[in-house]
Amino acid sequence: MADSKFGSCCEILKDVLQSDEFEPLIAEEDGILYMSIGLMAEEDDEPNMVDHPVFFCPFCGKGVQTPAEVDAKTGDAN
């Protein structure tokens, strides 16, 4: 997270991103901040984590990224 923009809004998010304890729940990947929102299994497959981009800090409420920024980084044109 050396050059990350995430965590600059508040100390709590910064601490969470630097902690190994919250790694499966909130993570930065490819310049996008994600939060795990649940488990999903299809038929006989094992459950997989379902992640969703975080648009506002869950601790202080400040906007951390926009849907347009996430789309640009993922190449999603929708």
* Total count of domains within the chain: 1
What per-residue confidence (pLDDT) applies to 4? 65
Identify the burial level of 6 via C-beta atoms within 10 angstroms of its C-beta, where 0-12 means exposed, 13-18 middle and 19 or more buried: buried
Q: Is residue 4 part of a domain?
A: no
Q: Is residue 47 part of a domain?
A: yes
Q: Is residue 22 part of a domain?
A: yes
List the domain range (segments joined by +) for residue 28.
11-74
The CA distance from 67 to 13, in Å, is: 20
Residue 76 in this model has a pLDDT that exceeds 60: yes
Percentage of the chain modeled with pLDDT above 90: 40
The CA distance from 68 to 77, in Å, is: 9
Q: Is residue 5 part of a domain?
A: no
Residue 1 in this model has a pLDDT that exceeds 50: no
Question: For 31-50, what is each residue's pLDDT tens digit?
Answer: 899 998 888 887 777 888 88
Average pLDDT rounded to a whole number, residues 7-34:
86
Percentage of the chain modeled with pLDDT above 70: 92
